């Protein structure tokens, strides 16, 4: 199984590249952000997740890990999974390792998209015009998301680096160029 963790700060292009990788390698794409946004808005879980997401904060690990695991369980007989926006803490990374080990598989690679901070804010403000996401439209919330990324999420790269699974990929350039860099990294594994 090909289990890819697509990593990077908000606005790095994880969603866009996941769509291309999913098609090319015939993978299931799981984005915890998309899963939270697709919950029935009247449910307690959706309201709870939104209360964190709208402020740019991370949803607590216990809830996020449960959501991720139940999403993975919906699929069987697959080539692999792209994890987009998960894991975002080292506790989530540990939980994913344990969960995959029970399924006799493991994370193949973490591909980390590297994009300068100034460009991230611009990209998110641009995306807000079409995404309608409250957390993309407000520069202060974007700043909180980037700070949370730097504090809680960036260390996850170290977690996979210790396992020899981290590959950093330049996330600046055309969508096709970035896709080709990711594809080359996966093909060379």
- Of 34, 89, 79, residue with least CA distance to 58: 89
- For residue 89, the surrounding DSSP H or E stretch is none
Report the residue from 64, 112, 159, 169 that binds ligand AMP according to the rule CB under 6 A: 64
- Minimum distance from residue 88 beta carbon to ligand AMP (Å): 4
Q: Under the criterion CB under 6 A, does residue 58 sit at the interface with ligand AMP?
A: yes
Q: How many CB atoms lie within 10 A of CB 65?
A: 21
Q: Under the criterion CB under 6 A, does residue 59 sit at the interface with ligand AMP?
A: yes
- Of 76, 78, 69, 79, residue with least CA distance to 100: 69
Q: Which two tokens stand for residue 75?
A: 């699929």
Contact segment (CB under 6 A) with ligand AMP among 32-40, 103-111, 113-121, 157-165 equals 32-40
- What pairs with residue 80 in β-bridges? 2
Q: How many CB atoms lie within 10 A of CB 131?
A: 14
Q: Which is nearer to ligand AMP, 53 or 180 (CB)?
A: 53
The residue with tokens 């866009």 is: 16
Question: Helix 90-102 vs helix 61-73: angle between axes, to the nearest 10 degrees?
Answer: 30
Q: Under the criterion CB under 6 A, does residue 88 sit at the interface with ligand AMP?
A: yes
Q: Under the criterion CB under 6 A, does residue 145 sit at the interface with ligand AMP?
A: yes
The residue with tokens 């807000």 is: 128
Q: Under the criterion CB under 6 A, does residue 142 sit at the interface with ligand AMP?
A: no
Query: Between residue 92 and residue 121, which ones bind ligand AMP under the rule CB under 6 A?
Result: 92
- Minimum distance from residue 83 beta carbon to ligand AMP (Å): 9
Q: Under the criterion CB under 6 A, does residue 33 sit at the interface with ligand AMP?
A: yes
List residues binding ligand AMP (CB under 6 A): 10, 32-33, 36, 52-53, 56-59, 64, 85-86, 88, 92, 135, 145
């Amino acid at each position: 199984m090909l289990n890819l963790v697509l990593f990077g700060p908000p606005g790095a292009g994880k969603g866009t590249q996941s769509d291309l990788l999913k098609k090319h390698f015939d993978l299931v794409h799981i984005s915890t952000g998309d899963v939270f946004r697709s919950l029935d808005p009247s449910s307690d879980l959706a309201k709870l997740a939104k209360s964190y997401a709208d402020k740019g904060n991370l949803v607590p690990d216990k809830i996020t890990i449960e959501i991720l695991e139940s999403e993975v369980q919906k699929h069987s007989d697959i080539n692999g999974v792209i994890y987009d926006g998960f894991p975002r803490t080292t506790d989530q990374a540990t939980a994913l390792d344990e969960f995959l080990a029970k399924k006799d598989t493991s994370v193949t690679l973490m591909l980390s998209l590297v994009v300068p901070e100034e460009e991230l804010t611009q990209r998110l403000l641009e995306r807000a015009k079409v995404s309608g996401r409250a957390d993309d439209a407000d520069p202060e919330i974007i700043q909180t998301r980037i700070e949370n990324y730097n504090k809680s999420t960036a260390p996850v790269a170290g977690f996979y680096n210790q396992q020899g699974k981290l590959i950093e990929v330049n996330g600046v350039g055309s969508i096709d160029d970035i896709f080709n860099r990711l594809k080359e990294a996966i093909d060379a594994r």
